[in-house]
């Protein structure tokens, strides 16, 4: 069962292969979602300072009835934080909001602030934020550290000055958006890729070609999408507060053929992300 399977990060820490994303799940509802997910067998919960639901996620982690050490919690340093001092404060802020003694994985959410996504030069600021993550890692506050939305040049900037290399890069990876070269680069650097928005915010459900292939495997479109990301050796993080969807998303113990994987890899990008098109990560800027 996929919920029991793990990858091993470059520092030896084990990370569950499938996680629950919590973007857009409100702080007052997310504790229930976390508890429901844990009940179904999920052990990996992904949040971020930007989601404004760390308090609720922490409540769910503490009240779900499973020992803390059996759970894997990820959060992310806000994209706007690009100084050492601010990052130190924000890391401690996340620990406090979550109400946890340690965080399993913390990422820099983006190499640029969202208001200037893929814009200006924040190389120095990223090195400063990374130094704060390294210090928290060395102090035992964080079990693993990484990055998110980082392209090759952004990763190289971190590698040029770090004492601890990133263990994870969380990227937008789904059918129609497979950054093959960047993923291969990460693999060569021993950086595990996590795949956020594996179902492309639901827009992929409208694609007839993908629906036809899902039918061929007797699975739902989301199950095909999640399996696709797993076969790319990534960690899919489907987001849902619905226990029925959580359960379906975890039933992915089938195999997509090499030929069909190739077809899916070559698929053209979706035209847009519907109501999410305005969000910088998805704007195509």
Q: Which residues, including other chains, have CB under 8 Å from residue 197's CB and lie 6 or more apart? A: 21, 172, 174, 237, 239
β-pairing, 6-8 with 14-16? antiparallel
Distance between CA atoms of residues 127 and 187, nearest Å: 21
Residue 42 among the catalytic residues: no
The string of DSSP codes covering 82-107 is -SHHHHHHHHHHHHHHHT-S-BSEEE
Q: Detail the DSSP E strand segments found in 168-264.
A: 168-172, 192-196, 235-237
Alpha-carbon torsion (16, 20, 22, 27), positive or negative: negative
Alpha-carbon torsion (184, 123, 161, 81), positive or negative: negative
Displacement of CA 220 from its chain's centroid (Å): 22
Instruction: Pick the catalytic residue from 42, 51, 228, 273.
Output: 51
Residues paired with 84 in a beta bridge = none
Q: Name the residues annotated as catalytic.
A: 51
């Amino acid at each position: 069962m996929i919920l029991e399977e793990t990858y091993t990060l470059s520092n030896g820490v084990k990370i569950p292969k499938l996680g629950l994303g919590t973007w857009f799940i409100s702080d007052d509802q997310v504790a229930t979602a976390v508890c429901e997910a844990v009940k179904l067998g999920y052990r990996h919960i992904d949040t971020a300072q930007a989601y404004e639901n760390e308090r609720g996620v922490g409540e769910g982690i503490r009240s779900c009835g499973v020992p803390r050490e059996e759970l894997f919690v990820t959060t992310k340093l806000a994209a706007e934080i690009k100084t050492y001092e601010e990052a130190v404060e924000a890391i401690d802020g996340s620990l406090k909001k979550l109400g946890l003694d340690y965080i399993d994985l913390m990422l820099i959410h983006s190499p640029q602030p969202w208001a200037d996504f893929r814009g200006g030069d924040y190389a120095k600021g990223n090195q400063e934020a990374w130094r704060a993550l390294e210090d928290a890692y060395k102090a035992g506050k964080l079990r693993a550290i990484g990055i998110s939305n980082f392209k090759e040049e952004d990763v190289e900037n971190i590698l040029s000055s770090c004492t601890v290399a990133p263990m994870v890069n969380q990227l937008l990876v789904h059918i129609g958006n497979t950054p093959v070269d960047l993923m291969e680069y990460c693999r060569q650097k021993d950086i595990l890729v996590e795949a956020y928005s594996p179902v492309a915010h639901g827009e992929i459900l409208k694609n007839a070609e993908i629906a036809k292939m899902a039918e061929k495997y007797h699975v739902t479109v989301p199950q095909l999408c999640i399996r696709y990301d797993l076969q790319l050796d990534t960690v899919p993080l489907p987001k849902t507060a619905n226990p029925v969807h959580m359960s379906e998303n975890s039933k992915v113990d089938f195999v997509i053929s090499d030929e069909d994987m190739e077809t899916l890899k070559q698929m053209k990008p979706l035209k847009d992300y519907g109501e999410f098109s305005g969000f910088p990560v998805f704007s195509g800027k």
